[in-house]
Structure 1
């Protein structure tokens, strides 16, 4: 059995845990999938590169509202594929080659499972390889959930892991799911010319967002997609390229492509974690403390396989915490999830941080709401935007910011003002009145939403 000082299981964020400060150690990386993980190869980065492409196409289609006469010939899908994945695949290969060139790193390619405390068996192409380590970091990520009704049909389907690499744009696609992955990919393929039907069991899309955002987004895309809300898929029939999908109201949808985007599940069930003494919660997520230590001695975990928002920027921060704690065990850092922003790169763009209104109500908080619509600020006029808005929640007595939500262009950028304020403890009045807000920038929707709050004078 080959023994290492440190072993990292996973080469997404896990690969970023290791840098030259570990060069005095014998380090191992276990890679089942491509270097860069989901984010680089099948998630954040390719989906956003495609989303920007879709945004450009939609801008040309909508150019008439700015009195620009432009015609869209279409999206050159093969060229887009080459631009996006030609770059990302090369980056992934370079990442692996770079690690193999590191004198202090050994790369094992294959799926691993624990056989004992800090002992694993890696199923490589050359056969099973037993390895052990003094310390282990589990960063094995997750994978798309596929409902039994789809998996057991025997008919082809796509997930977020595969759909962005389709050789051709589907003519008719059914998107099963109404969350952020479904919303982003429906946006991309509609812009590319696909007729999209969305099947979602809840009565709104993006139901985890603030209720105002979810309701607005659902109505905005209702004319764009064929929405089947409050419905569930009960049967998949037909043949490849000619699918018949039956819903629980007996309606039938015909499509050539089915995209399953109903959520993701951690890969913990593939690791035999019980043999390592690593415990998981009821959702299969590895339980960790504030320092990201598991129940097993000298085993840490991070990323989509632990509780907490399954977001790349969260995983990056977890990686920084684990790196520090591995290098400085006597001065450990802790991970905080107090202020976690997120964004949905669809049309319109959406971003949030903190509490939704429904969460604030469920907690019994006395909160005030401030809003500003894009059409009420000068740059909103320039954009000819009649849909966007900013919504802020704050404690009514103190003015402490509780949450913020933006729907519209540049939402993922605009939300950062709230992230900084909540991180450093700035109240609503202080955030509105101390900085200068550029006129006529779109940031005025943030300023005006803050000033719309009815909060205490001492805030």
Structure 2
């Protein structure tokens, strides 16, 4: 049985732990898939590279409103795909070689706990003084009659297909469906989105969700309040039987794309056998410093939290690194502000409290909504649908939440994230800061001044 000072399970954000300060330790990484985790290989990074190409196609087709009459001559899917993965795929081998060349043992088989701090990897068992669990998550596949008999894709596979399908049925209405619905619609597929809830992007502020549902329905066929009762293979693809407010119907498509959420990979590593406490969703329970129920075992990323955000996992990795190196000075994350963005069209970004949660929980709030159309740059864009929404505490005037839908939303929200993190008031951020004219940030400024 080989013993280590430190073993890391998962080479996503967990791989970032191993800086030069750990060089004197005997260390190992257990990664049965690819270095870089979900984000690099089948998540944030490749999907955004596809989104940028889709944005270019949509921009060209919609430029007529500006007096620029353009058309998309051809979308070369294979060239787009190969540009994406031609850049990404070589990074796995180089990362693996780098770790091995620097004295880190890398195990490329699945690791499973057989006892607390005892891991079975292939034919051998390894132990360690310290384990860090960062095994990530995977797409959830719902229990739909017939699904196991038909070809379908998840976010793990959809980006590597050989050609754009003529039609696509999307089960789910969350952020993955929103982003890839945009991509494949932009590249010529007829997209049908099948959503259980009354709106798309239900986790967003209800005003953002409603606006996005309205805009997406102009591009796609959107079935709301819909339940998939079965799927079956057809000569040309799949048939999806759906019950919804419009009555029972069958959606036929060449390709089926399942976007039903994600689940942590803790079952694959048998966390329970390792003595690790799990919550009802299968996430490892940690304290604010990311210590688990087993002394000497830490956890981070999608295996430990519900955010499913790479920037959150990276922050956790930095925190755990500090705590491992400085056990006398254990720290926690300085705040729980977890911003996010959905890179669809239009782009969406949010942070903090939504209006529906404020009402539900009886939280006092002030709210301001300002349209991009109220700014000079909004005029330049001929924008009629985008807006900035900010919620504030009426007593101490700090920002409770911010939500944006429209071009550059993920960038525009950043000063509001910083204000929330630093505890600044709407007065400080709205009046004491100069906003460049006529940039889109004036929409943020106007919302703050309105408050």
TM-score by length of 2: 0.97
Shift of 1:101: 1.3
Deviations 1:266-305 (A, max 9, x none): 0111122222211101111100001100000100000001
Contact 1:141 1:267 in 2 (8 A): yes
Computed over aligned residues only, the root mean square deviation of the Cα atoms, in angstroms, reads 1.2
Instruction: Output the CA distance in 2 between the equivalents of 1:329 and 1:170.
Output: 54
Is 312-321 or 232-241 further displaced after alignment? 232-241
Shift of 1:384: 1.1
Matches within 5 A, 1:274-353: 274-353=272-351
Matches within 5 A, 1:374-385: 374-385=372-383
Deviations 1:192-220 (A, max 9, x none): 11100000000100011001000000001
Name 1:95's counterpart in structure 2: 95
Deviations 1:304-358 (A, max 9, x none): 0112411000000000011111111111111255211100000000001110001
Q: What SS does structure 1 have at the residue aligned with 2:184?
A: helix
Contact 2:131 2:296 in 1 (8 A): yes
Name 1:232's counterpart in structure 2: 227
Q: Any runs of at least 4 consecutive aligned residues in structure 1 with deviations exceeding 6 A, and if so which?
A: none
Shift of 1:152: 4.6
Name 2:114's counterpart in structure 1: 115
Instruction: Output the CA distance in 2 between the equivalents of 1:200 and 1:97.
Output: 44
Instruction: Output the CA distance in 1 between the equivalents of 2:52 and 2:221.
Output: 23
Shift of 1:150: 6.0
Q: What SS does structure 2 have at the residue aligned with 1:438?
A: coil
Shift of 1:379: 0.5
Name 2:69's counterpart in structure 1: 69
Instruction: Output the CA distance in 1 between the equivalents of 2:302 and 2:97.
Output: 25
Shift of 1:221: 1.1
Shift of 1:143: 0.5
Whether 2:214 is the aligned partner of 1:219: answer yes
Deviations 1:347-390 (A, max 9, x none): 00000111000111112122111111011100111111111100
Contact 2:232 2:239 in 1 (8 A): yes
Instruction: Output the CA distance in 2 between the equivalents of 1:151 and 1:334.
Output: 46
Name 1:457's counterpart in structure 2: none
Shift of 1:240: 7.2
Matches within 5 A, 1:168-207: 168-207=163-202
Instruction: Output the CA distance in 1 between the equivalents of 2:37 and 2:224.
Output: 32
Name 2:86's counterpart in structure 1: 86
Unpaired stretches in structure 1, ≥5 consecutive residues? 454-459
Instruction: Output the CA distance in 2 between the equivalents of 1:320 and 1:27.
Output: 17
Name 2:44's counterpart in structure 1: 44
Instruction: Output the CA distance in 1 between the equivalents of 2:41 and 2:272.
Output: 30
Q: What SS does structure 2 have at the residue aligned with 1:276?
A: coil
Unpaired stretches in structure 2, ≥5 consecutive residues? none
User: How many residues were matched structurally?
Assistant: 448
Contact 1:371 1:450 in 2 (8 A): no
Instruction: Output the CA distance in 2 between the equivalents of 1:421 and 1:151.
Output: 50
Name 1:24's counterpart in structure 2: 24
Name 1:436's counterpart in structure 2: 434
Deviations 1:233-259 (A, max 9, x none): 111112475211101242001111111
Say if 1:241 and 1:98 are closer, same or farther in 2 by CA, change over 3 A: farther
Contact 1:153 1:237 in 2 (8 A): no
Instruction: Output the CA distance in 1 between the equivalents of 2:201 and 2:174.
Output: 5
TM-score by length of 1: 0.96
Equivalent of residue 449 in structure 1, options 431, 434, 447: 447
